[in-house]
Each structure stands twice: as structure tokens, then as C-alpha cells.
Amino acid sequence: MLPFVDGQVLSLQRGCQGSQHIFTSFRVVNAAAGLVRVKVRVVRTSDGETVSVPVDVRLPLEPDPLQMPEAAVITGLTPVVEVPRDVLGKEVEVRVELEDAGGAMASGSMRGTAQWGPDSCG
């Protein structure tokens, strides 16, 4: 998992069940172990409009594959973009909010231009 640099392309991928989404993963440092509440949404930066179905789930933190002992990851979240023309060729921001088992909260985001990527069903 490579770090994302703002301004890169965010791939909009067609899913197996007919929707399209932007795969989202993130790394958390010093979060309490256990389930975390994760919220993800995609926002069009030109007008601040939410252009995805918001994700709001509880998930376990996974060990960091880069072996950073103080970090954990969550991978493969898929905020669905219902109307591709709302994002294609436009700058969007993927916003993530997290609350750990101890009540600590964190947030982060990444910006990029949405373009069609490979289909995720092969």
C-alpha cells in the first residue's frame, strides 16, 4: 500500500454488482485496539457536494503490512458513486473519519481527479 499524494488520479471502478466506486484504504497510528467506527464519503471540491453514498461502519483494525508496530490499516472500503458524470474529470476529495474503541477521533482526506479505472470484476 503506497501513500497517496494529493493531485493524483483517483480511479472510479465499476463493481461486480453494477455500481461504481473509489477503493479507499488508510493507515492509522496509535489507535486503540478493537473495532473502530469509520465514515467515508466522496465530495466534489468545486461545490462541496457529497457525490457518494456515505459509508458508516464498524471494522477491526488490521496489522500494518509495512510492519509499522504503532500503525494499523483498514483496506478496501468502497464508497459508491451513483452518478459517474458527477465526478469524472473533476477534482474530488475522499474524506475519512475514525473513532477508536477509546473514543479518540481522527480524520484525513485525499484529493485527486476522478477517472475511469479498471473494472474490479476482471
User: What's the CATH number where 70 sits?
Assistant: 2.60.40.10
Do the domain assignments include residue 122?
no
Please give the pLDDT value at position 98: 94
Do the domain assignments include residue 2?
no
Please give the pLDDT value at position 122: 66
Structural domain boundaries enclosing 106: 8-116
Do the domain assignments include residue 12?
yes
Q: Which residues of the chain have pLDDT under 50?
A: 1
**Number of domains within the chain:** 1
How buried is 86 (Cβ within 10 angstroms: 0-12 exposed, 13-18 middle, 19+ buried)?
middle
Do the domain assignments include residue 112?
yes
Do the domain assignments include residue 84?
yes
Q: How many CB atoms neighbour CB 25 within 10 A?
A: 13
Please give the pLDDT value at position 1: 44
Q: Give dist(CA 29, CA 99) in Å, integer.
A: 12
Do the domain assignments include residue 46?
yes
Do the domain assignments include residue 79?
yes
Q: Give dist(CA 79, CA 42) in Å, integer.
A: 7
37 close to 56: Cβ distance less than 8 angstroms: yes
